[in-house]
Amino acid sequence: MKLHKIAAILAFIIGAMAIFAGGQVIFLGKVMDYHVISWLPYYNFTMGVISFLVTAILIWKNHRYAMPAAVATLATHVTIVLVLLTAYNGVVAAESLKAMTVRITVWVLIVALLYLDRRKNNSLA
């Protein structure tokens, strides 16, 4: 299997997970056992939809905008974590930071797979 296909599957999965997690709080009113910052479920849901319906599809098709979209997604998650660690330090739940760390780790892996796939394809050309 080509590396960009594996990256796309990861993007679909992490996007679906964010849709599910954010959607439970937004649409079903799920109450968590920890403090949830009011805008964070909306962020998670929105980024999940974008990851699932846009970025993952671009990656699957090996579109020329796949890498920029993946890097933008990663950069957005990193930016949000930095906001959480600075502006919301002491307020943000450890569970939220763990979830964001998982997202960042997966997106680093996705970007690395895309890089390796492009590098492999360029060396074959």
Nearest-angstrom CA–CA distance, 106 and 100: 10
pLDDT in tens, 3-33: 999 999 999 999 999 999 999 999 988 888 8
Mean pLDDT of 114-120: 93
DSSP characters over 59-113:
HHTT-TTHHHHHHHHHHHHHHHHHHHHHTTTTTS-HHHHHHHHHHHHHHHHHHHH
- pLDDT score for 32: 82
The interaxial angle of helices 94-124 and 3-28, nearest 10 deg, is: 160
What's this model's pTM, rounded to 2 decimal places?
0.93
- pLDDT score for 51: 97
Nearest-angstrom CA–CA distance, 121 and 75: 25
pLDDT in tens, 97-108: 999 999 999 999
Mean pLDDT of 78-99: 95
- pLDDT score for 31: 85
Three-state DSSP state, 25:
helix
- Asked if the model's pLDDT at residue 125 lies above 70, the reply is no
- Asked if the model's pLDDT at residue 116 lies above 90, the reply is yes
Nearest-angstrom CA–CA distance, 114 and 48: 19
- Asked if the model's pLDDT at residue 1 lies above 90, the reply is no
CB 19 within 8 A of CB 49: yes
More confident residue, 73 or 1: 73
